[in-house]
Amino acid sequence: MKTLFAQLNGLELFFLVCAVIGGVFVLIRLVSQFLGADHSLDGGIDVDGTGLDAHHTDSDIGFRILSVHGLTSFMMMFGLVGLALHRQSGMGTLVSMAGAVAAGLACVWIIGKLFALVVKLQSSGTIRMDSAVGAQGKVYISIPAQGTGRVLVTVHNSLREYDAASVDQAAIATDTPIRVVWVDGNVLVVERI
């Protein structure tokens, strides 16, 4: 081990330290994500005490790059590519530093794009009641005259159960096919088909 460090010059040692520090923190973050403990590890840097929230949708992308994940990924790639360019490829100091910075920035950019794609996959699962207008279904619990019952309606390829009232205030028996005419608060107003 001593002979390895003795063979490295100052720049190569700097690249190695960056790669090890960044790699250790990326590995810790990866393991913590699989264990479900990643929710408290990622934070943004508060610039000038402004209290900007790095996770708010209106925040600048620059604040998200300064997260723990972004910085450790940058350091890891910076160190690995810089060491490979300087030691293995024999590139000069300036080319090695430029390549290392470019690789670190590319890594942060790719990770940012991956997280943006993951965010697009999220869905609240909430269906707005307004989207049920025009949907068809059947009465699940009979609707009494001038009262409410329950209906099963297919909305956005999902079978949902809602409170319902008849459009003409007449009773509708169980298993009668219906169509939603409009929404009145949290109650669907339905008609027989």
Percent of the chain clearing pLDDT 90 (strictly above): 46
Of the residues 121, 155, 176, the one at which a domain ends: 121
For residue 84, give its domain range: 9-121
Residue listed under structure tokens 């307004």: 130
pTM above 0.85, yes or no: no
Contact 19, 83 (CB under 8 A): yes
In angstroms, the CA 152 to CA 132 distance is 11
Task: Please provide residue 92's backbone torsions phi and psi, each rounded to the nearest 5 degrees.
Answer: -75, 175
Residues 101 and 163 in one domain: no
In the DSSP assignment, the letter for residue 84 is I
Q: H or E stretch including 159? A: strand 158-166
Does 107 reside within a domain?
Answer: yes
Count: domains in the chain: 2
For residues 40 and 115, membership in a common domain is answered with yes
Residue 82 lies in a domain: yes
Q: Are residues 78 and 140 in the same domain?
A: no
The answer on 139 and 46 residing in a single domain is no
What mean pLDDT value characterizes the chain? 83
104: Cα separation from own chain's centroid: 22
- Residue 96's pLDDT band (boundaries 50, 70, 90)? very high
In degrees, rounded to 5, the angle at the alpha carbon of residue 15 between the alpha carbons of residues 37 and 110 is 50
CA distances (Å), 80 to each of 10, 17, 39, 73, 112, in order? 15, 10, 27, 11, 20
Q: In what helix (H) or strand (E) does residue 181 lie, and over which residues does it extend?
A: strand 177-184
Same domain, 140 and 116: no
Q: Closest Cα to residue 21, out of 92, 73, 58?
A: 73
Lowest mean pLDDT among 67-71, 124-128, 143-147, 184-188: 124-128
CATH number of the domain that 140 lies in? Answer: 2.40.50.140
Cα angle 20, 23, 28 (rounded to 5 degrees) comes to 125
Q: Which residue has the tokens 């942060």?
A: 108
Residues 112 and 137 grouped into a single domain: no
